[in-house]
Amino acid sequence: MGDEYQVVVVAGGSSKDLFPLVSKDVPKALLPIGNRPLLSYVLDLLEDSNLNNVSVVVAGHESGVRVGSWIAEAYHDRLQVEVSTVSEESGTADALRSVAHRLSSENVLVVSGDMVCDVPLGAIASSHKRQRAGLTALLCPRTPGEGCEASAGGVGTKEKAKQLAAADVIGLDSARHRLLYVASGSQLGKEVKVPLCLMREAGQVELHTDLLDAHLYAFNRELMLEALERNEKFKSIKRDLVPHIVRSQLKHGRVEGTLSCSAYVAGKARYCARVNTIEAYGDINRDVAGDAIYLTGYTVSGMNNVIHPSAQTGAKTAIGPQCIIGEGSELGEKCSVKRSVVGRHCRIGSNVKVINSVVMNHVTLEDGCLVQNSVICSNVYLQERVTLKDCQVGCGYVIGVGAEHRSEALAKKEKMPINYQFLQ
């Protein structure tokens, strides 16, 4: 069944948005979410839907090598994955161009590699085919406030405002779920211009800002390649290619045939998020450790948390619900971990508090540290009584005794060879 669709996963490279979490050594695709590389969520989703023909495009050669070797190890007997690389600067549209020669199926599913979602891809595939669409986009109802509640209150409202400002405007024909208009929030000024021909054609258009474009598209292959070929300037799928196709469906008179664009609006119960900002990274980690734990495939203990059997906890250490403790981590006495994800082989001393945070692998937290609302990357060393609030700490960073940081991004200037353990 899966042969009808080929899949292109645009896995990105070392995105600047996620500095300092992402570097050349930790490409975005391998960023741990709930102690699993980000890309594994997409690949598992593909596997569930029997979509076996997958091309993964990674930006940057080094990242490509890392991603490739990880996939080769983890998926060698499950999926047929080909990894290719494009240069660091190229956009998502370039990534598509680079694998164009490999595409042969009638329809192509283009998935962003930073998606964590449980919408069955079959639904999009089927909806795409049923409506004989040229383009089908997955839209998820935005749940305003949900992400914000998780983070601290004051910041939340600001974030929310920012989110809404950046919201995409999506025009839908509510009856048939046709996609009629797309304008991404970042490009949009204060006003939304809706072309007249659209009103003439569709009669009624509902403009939504409450829908999140999940960056998952089903394309008719010929249509997509033709559009890419004609417009060499296109850099991004989302910003250039999709709006172009949506616009061009109206030019061809009646919106019938394969040229039409449709939208698949996921149900409210579905989880769908993208790791495109630091906040999102923290939120998604918390979601994955909490309500969306089923995405990770871990078995949840009676305490509503996941503690690897090889992890050791000292006396009087409390690990709250909605936490994940990775393999081989050691926690000292009187520690408290709440709503956080702790990676593999971390050493956490006594009297340490980790709240609402993500601690990656091989991190050492000495006694008396307090980590709140922060992300600590691998191989970080926090000496005694360090306090971190709303911070991001890059790989291999060392924070001295008793330091206190608030709302900072801490990262090393120079690169140091680090031994990453993701592959294990």
Binding site for another protein (CB under 8 A): 1-2, 4-5, 48-51, 119-123, 125-127, 129-130, 267
DSSP string, 155-168: HHHHHHHHHHHTPP
The nearest distance, CB 272 to another protein, in angstroms, is: 13
C-alpha distances (whole Å) from 129 to each of 5, 24, 36, 45 are 10, 39, 32, 19
The nearest distance, CB 136 to another protein, in angstroms, is: 11
The nearest distance, CB 265 to another protein, in angstroms, is: 9
Question: DSSP assignment, residue 118?
Answer: -
Which residue's CB is nearer to another protein, number 164 or number 175? 175
- Interhelix angle 242-251/221-230, nearest 10 degrees: 100
Whole-number Å distance between alpha carbons of 21 and 37: 13
Whole-number Å distance between alpha carbons of 200 and 181: 13
Strands (E), 209-329: 211-220, 261-265, 272-274, 306-307, 312-313, 318-319, 324-325
Which residue's CB is nearer to another protein, number 111 or number 275? 111
The nearest distance, CB 72 to another protein, in angstroms, is: 24
Which residue's CB is nearer to another protein, number 122 or number 320? 122
Which residue's CB is nearer to another protein, number 50 or number 407? 50
239-265 burial: b if 16+ Cβ within 10 Å, else e: bbbbbbbbbebbeeeebeeebbbbbbb
C-alpha distances (whole Å) from 410 to each of 19, 21, 252, 364 are 10, 10, 52, 16
Which residue's CB is nearer to another protein, number 122 or number 290? 122
Which residue's CB is nearer to another protein, number 145 or number 257? 257
CB 109 within 8 Å of CB 124: yes
The nearest distance, CB 360 to another protein, in angstroms, is: 33
Which residue's CB is nearer to another protein, number 130 or number 251? 130
The nearest distance, CB 88 to another protein, in angstroms, is: 34
The nearest distance, CB 204 to another protein, in angstroms, is: 11
- Interhelix angle 38-48/121-130, nearest 10 degrees: 50
